[in-house]
Each structure stands twice: as C-alpha cells, then as structure tokens.
Amino acid sequence: MKENIEQLREAFLTEIQTVKNLQELDALRVKYLGRKGQLQAYFKQLGQVDPADRPQIGRLLNELKQLFERTIAEYKSRFREEDTGEWIDLTLPGRKPPVARKHPLTQVLDEIKSIFQSLGFTIADGPEVETDYYNFEALNIPKLHPARDMQDTLYVTEDILLRTHTSPVQIRVMESQPPPVRIIAPGRVYRRDTPDASHSPFFHQVEGLCVDQGISFADLKAVISEFARRMFGEDIQVRFRPSFFPFTEPSLEYDFNCVFCRGKGCRVCKQTGWMEISGAGMVDPNVFKAVGYDPEIYTGYAFGMGVDRIAMLKFAIDDIRLFFENDMRFLRQF
C-alpha cells in the first residue's frame, strides 16, 4: 500500500507538469481527487489494511490529498493570472514613451537666436496685436501712404491691428531705453495674403536693430553676411539689392543662394538662383525723431528676416504651408 501511495504521488507530480490550461487542470483534479479517483479508492481500502498499519497509511493518504489540493490550487491561480493578462513577462522589452521634439520652425529660431546672441544682440519682444501708431505711423508710414497697400492686414478696430511685421518692436525698444541698442525681436506676423507654396497669412520674422554712434552700412552688410555663413556654411552667397522702406534710408533687400539648386535656377527659386530673405537698411532719421533719439549723433541699421524662409532653405522644404498643417508625418522628420 505504501508503495502504491508513493507511485500515485510521483504520477501526479509528473502529470501536473504537462497541464497547460484550466480545463486540463480540472480534468487532472477529477482524476486524482474525484469520487471515482485513485486516492478515493485507496481511502476506501483503508478498512482492509492491517489495523497496526492503518494510522500510518491513513496519515500518508491525508498528506497526499493535501499535496494534491495545494498543488492544484497553485496551478489554478497561475493560469488565472495568465487568463486576465496580469501575468508579467519580465523578458519583454519596455514600451517606449513617445518623446516630443521641437517644431522645425522653433529649431531654426533657436539657432538664429543663438547666432545673434553670440554677436552681442539681446532678445526683445512685442505684442502681436499692435496699434496703427507702432505698426505704421512711428515707422514713417503715414495714413494713406502707398507702402501700406503691400501690408494690408486684419484690423481689430480702426486703430488696432494684427502686426504686419516685427518692425514695431524697434519703436517700443527705442522708446524704452537710450542708445546704444543691439536687439533682435523674433515673432509672428500677419498679412492678408492668399496661401500658396511661398505665402501664408501668418508667418515669422526676426527683427534686428543696432543703434550707436558711428554705425554704418558696412556693419549691416557684415552682420547679415556673418549670419548667413554661420547658418548655412562658408560657401553661402549673399546678394544685396537696392530697395525702399519708409523707415530705412538707404534701404536694401537681401537674398541667399537657393539651396535647392545651389544658384543654378530651379522651380523653388523661380529660376533666379536666389531666395529672398527680407529687407534692411539704415534707420531713417524720422524714426529716430519719433522716439526722441538725436539723428545728428546716432546712426543705426535695422533688418528683417523671414524665419519660415530660412527654415525652408535649411531643411529643403518647398512649401511653407507644411509648417502649419500639424501633419505628424511631416513634423516627425525633424
């Protein structure tokens, strides 16, 4: 009898290892613990056992029953956890949390800022909703001046509008401090333009302003050329063209080599080989008068800069609208 009990124990321990799920486990339970099971049969035979051995055999059978019950219960809870998915496989690789990144325009803006900061400029700021006075009047663009036509915009009231350029920050900075001034002012601007590959009704500019005694046109050209080299590399070419702005005299517009064709001429640069960046010039004496600077003592230069255009050049993007569509397939590439 003792041997039979031992065999049953071994058979159970071997068989339970092959059990794969709750159903198979239940079948095994019936087989070993059920009323018609092997263990029960031995309990029934206990009466025929020699009375001297009976207590010992009885104890062995009880121990075996407990072993069956305990082991089956352990397997049961293990299968249950697997069923509810709570079971943890520590060998699986972890889940990667999605990591945010900067918008390509922000990346370019950060780079522009750090270049100018290294050239001694500090960063100024101004409101996007401006008054007619700061956006036009103080910049020597009186009411009914034809220069307003090119910068038609969205008016909040007759006197308040969405700024059409970052130049009003020039006025705000000069009003708030005496010379010398050396600032850049990055920000968003608005114009009533129909969107296409190179136009968006809102876009970004960086204004630059440097005022001191003895500042000349040469300083302006040097700073813009140095910026171009640091931003795009030594072999970038810069072109200055005469132009007109009411708040600078003389005025220029400047272009960088088209990076798509390296100056040969292509669809993006409309076969010119150049990409227009923005305007610049020497601060008009009338602007100095508007802020109370003495134009007989101080001179200065101002420049604009199209951030979106620079980002298009930097990343070889041929449509400005891509920046503002929030399409993750586009944004993820930067």
Binding site for ligand PHE (CB under 6 A): 165, 167, 245, 248, 278-281, 302-304
* Min dist. Cβ of residue 268 to ligand PHE (A): 21
Residue at shortest CB range from ligand PHE: 304
Whose Cβ is closer to ligand PHE: residue 257's or residue 278's? 278
* Min dist. Cβ of residue 306 to ligand PHE (A): 8
* Min dist. Cβ of residue 91 to ligand PHE (A): 60
Whose Cβ is closer to ligand PHE: residue 228's or residue 280's? 280
The token pair that represents 333 in the structure block: 């590439």
- What percent of the chain is helix, strand and coil (3-state, nearest 5)? 45, 20, 35
The token pair that represents 290 in the structure block: 């508007």
Distance of CA 36 to the CA centre of its chain: 69
Whose Cβ is closer to ligand PHE: residue 243's or residue 272's? 243
* Min dist. Cβ of residue 300 to ligand PHE (A): 10
* Min dist. Cβ of residue 127 to ligand PHE (A): 16
* Min dist. Cβ of residue 217 to ligand PHE (A): 13
| 281, 251 contact by CB (below 8 A) | yes
Whose Cβ is closer to ligand PHE: residue 42's or residue 179's? 179
Distance of CA 125 to the CA centre of its chain: 22
| 107, 334 contact by CB (below 8 A) | yes
Whose Cβ is closer to ligand PHE: residue 61's or residue 210's? 210
> Residue 254 corresponds to which amino acid?
Y
Whose Cβ is closer to ligand PHE: residue 81's or residue 196's? 196
The token pair that represents 125 in the structure block: 């700021």
Whose Cβ is closer to ligand PHE: residue 55's or residue 142's? 142
Contacts 24+ apart (CB under 8 A), 230-237: 230/115, 231/111, 231/112, 231/115, 231/310, 231/314, 232/256, 232/257, 232/259, 232/313, 232/314, 237/263
The token pair that represents 56 in the structure block: 């010992």
Half-sphere exposure for 42 (CA within 13 Å, toward CB): 23
* Min dist. Cβ of residue 301 to ligand PHE (A): 8
Output the DSSP codes for 269-298: TTTSSEEEEEEEEEEPHHHHHHHT--TTT-
Around Cβ 46, how many Cβ atoms within 10 Å?
13
Q: From residue 88, how far is each of 20, 63, 78, 91, 94 by CA, in Å?
A: 17, 33, 11, 9, 12
Give SS3 for 226.
helix
Whose Cβ is closer to ligand PHE: residue 12's or residue 130's? 130
* Min dist. Cβ of residue 327 to ligand PHE (A): 28
